[in-house]
Amino acid sequence: MSPAQHPFDAALAAIKSLLPHNLSEPRVGIVCGSGLGGLVDCMRNVVLVPYNKIPGFVESTVHGHKSSLAFGFMGPGEGVPVVAMLGRFHPYEGHQIRTVVYPIRVMAKLGIKDIIITNAAGGINPKLSVGTIVVIHDHLALPNLTGLNPLIGPLTSPTHQRFIPLSDAYSPSLRRLMFLAAHHLSLDDSALAEGTYAWVSGPTYETPAEGRFLRLAGVDVVGMSTVPEVLAAREEGLNVMALSLVTNAVVIPEGYRSIRDEVNAELAGKPMDLPVAEVVSHEEVLEMGKAKGEVMMKLVEWVVGEIPKML
């Protein structure tokens, strides 16, 4: 790469050199969360571009995340040209926050106008069941509040605004389409919910106290991704929809668990029968992604088919 060349130009040139012309101008971008790479199965004429062929991209090191962009068509008829990230980058992998959002910027420069960002998340709101898909309408980004914001630093384009409002970050039109999709697919009301996503850095899952704190803060689901991508997408001027699949429950059951009470009850000859807190694992997260991925896939496919009719 010549020093005068902008890094985005190198990435765009590498991608385009590997694509047939009809796939090189995608309209919609999709980010596949943990266990949700099956979304590629509803794309046609798929061409994969491995991340290691794209300057500026790194590899995803997380199990369940591949490392390719998938280009293809989705939806009825000719279909809508889409690009899907099979595998994302998380700051906890050791990637710089700018690297984490770099693919979003590249997809924007390829011409996408709308982006659907998916993730696996822990349920904080006890009303949400494992397997529910949550349409995110707001977020609480603890790392942003303490200085890890992907938009810190020099602007990456002279057309970007320095200060980005987030009151309208999650497109009401796209969210509306999602609920129409659920109706169209005759899904139960409980299959699709709305809620606030908390971004935490990970890679540790929440302690019970952190779970309670997030609940008190009005959070519905918690995860380790998505928000940096949303911020970059908004800076790039994209319409954003973000979806969480609830893969596990975070909040511990009421009444759990005083060891002193337990010991005293045992000593009094009346052992307590208390529930044991769930211990979450990434394997469980991936399994739920596979089990419910098909519902997510059908919803996303329907929405993508409708997007060109939106304007």
Task: Please give the single-letter amino acid code of residue 16.
Answer: K
Residue 222 interacts, among ligand LQZ7MJT6, ligand HPA, none and using kind-specific CB cut-offs from 5 to 8 Å, with: ligand HPA
State the minimum distance, in angstroms, from the CB of residue 85 to ligand HPA. 17
Q: Following CA atoms 203, 250, 101, 196 in sequence, which dihedral angle do they give, to the nearest 10 degrees?
A: -160
List 81, 103, 123, 223, residue binding ligand LQZ7MJT6 (CB under 6 A): 223
Structural tokens at position 100: 């984490």
From the list ligand HPA, ligand LQZ7MJT6, none, pick the one residue 250 interacts with, judged by a Cβ distance below 5 to 8 Å according to partner type: ligand HPA
Nearer to ligand HPA, 149 or 248 (CB): 248
Q: Is 186 annotated as a binding residue?
A: no
Q: What are phi and psi of 243, to 5 degrees?
A: -125, 135
* Residue of 305, 126, 145 lying closest to 215 (CA atoms): 126
Q: Is 260 annotated as a binding residue?
A: no
Q: Which residues, other chains included, contact 169 with Cβ-Cβ below 8 Å and sequence gap of 6+?
A: 138, 139, 230, 231, 234, 240
Q: 148, 91 in Cβ contact below 8 A?
A: yes
Q: How far is the CB of 29 from ligand LQZ7MJT6 (least distance, A)?
A: 15
Question: Is residue 285 close enough to count as binding ligand LQZ7MJT6 by CB under 6 A?
Answer: yes
Q: Exactly one of 181, 193, 224, 241 is catalytic; which is it?
A: 224
Q: Which of 225, 241, 242, 301 is catalytic?
A: 225
Answer with the entry of ligand HPA, ligand LQZ7MJT6, none that 225 interacts with (C-beta below 5 to 8 A by kind).
ligand LQZ7MJT6
Query: Is 179 annotated as a binding-site member?
Result: no
202 binds ligand LQZ7MJT6 per the rule CB under 6 A = yes
57 is in an annotated binding site: no
Is residue 119 among the annotated active site residues? no
What DSSP designation does 275 have?
P
User: Annotation-wise, does 89 bind a ligand?
Assistant: yes
> Which two structure tokens, joined as six digits, stand for 254?
């009421």
Alpha-carbon distance 223 to 288, whole Å? 15
Query: 301, exposed or middle or buried, with CB in 10 Å at 0-12, 13-18, 19+?
Result: buried
The 3-state DSSP class for residue 134 equals strand
Is 262 flagged in the annotation as binding?
no
Q: CA neighbours within 13 Å on the CB side: how many for 27?
A: 15
33 binds, among ligand LQZ7MJT6, ligand HPA, none (CB under 5 to 8 A by kind): ligand LQZ7MJT6
Residues contacting 20, CB < 8 A, separation 6+: 47
Phi/psi for 220 (5° steps) reads -105, -40
Name which position in 113, 212, 282, 298 contacts ligand LQZ7MJT6 (CB under 6 A): 282
Residue 34 interacting with ligand LQZ7MJT6 (CB under 6 A):
yes
Which residue ranges make up the annotated binding site? 34, 65, 88-90, 120, 206, 225, 248
Which residue ranges make up the annotated binding site for phosphate? 34, 65, 88-90, 120, 225
- List the catalytic residues: 34, 65, 90, 92-93, 120, 224-225, 248, 282
Which residue ranges make up the annotated binding site for a purine D-ribonucleoside? 206, 248
